[in-house]
Amino acid sequence: MAGSFTWALAGGGLIGLSASSLLVLTGRVAGISGIVGGLVEPKQGAIAWRAAFLVGLLAGGAALSRLVPGAVTARASGLPPVAVALAGLLVGFGTQLGGGCTSGHGVCGLSRLSKRSFVAVLSFMSAAALTTFVTHHVVGWRP
């Protein structure tokens, strides 16, 4: 248990460090959906830092999986790939509708005491709790 707490604390610290570094160095908030969206629909002069941030994000996960075997594991969801793809599309639609994602609002927005982010976090956490309740207790699906 203590090992899991240590890894979670280290991971949280690294997330905070990377989000803070991006804000200080570029003046941009580390919202992953916005960063990816900026690569899909590029804006002039904004591609390099977005690509570097995403490469660092992926490289960090790859390095962790190499350095600490078992730290990154695949988990079968029991859902068909089409359902997983549909869920991903719905999340993408929701982030556009909400003007940001969990990293942008939850990590960066709350730490900046943004009222808009507070409302967004309340909204998506409530939706997540309701979805979990319905899928587990009404539908009876448990991963």
48 and 87 in a single domain? The answer is no
47 and 105 in a single domain? The answer is no
Classified as helix, coil or strand, 42 is coil
Which of residues 52, 73, 94 is at a domain's end? 73
Which of residues 46, 73, 100 is at a domain's end? 73
Phi-psi group of 57: left, alpha or beta (phi > 0 → left; psi -120 to 50 → alpha; rest → beta): alpha
67 and 91 in a single domain? The answer is no
Structure tokens at 136: 């587990």
Domain ranges, residue 24: 1-73
86 and 140 in a single domain? The answer is yes
Number of domains in the chain: 2
Q: Taking 80 as the threshold, does the pLDDT of residue 15 lie above it?
A: yes
106 and 64 in a single domain? The answer is no
Task: Write the CB contacts of 98 (distance below 8 Å, at least 6 apart in sequence).
Answer: 105, 120, 123, 124
54 and 81 in a single domain? The answer is no
Q: How does pLDDT run across 68-117, given as a tens digit for each residue?
A: 887 777 777 777 888 888 988 888 778 877 788 888 888 888 888 999 99
Predicted TM-score of the model (pTM)? 0.72
Helices (H), the chain: 2-26, 32-40, 47-67, 81-98, 110-111, 115-133
Measured on CA atoms in the order 32, 33, 37, 43, is the torsion positive or negative? negative
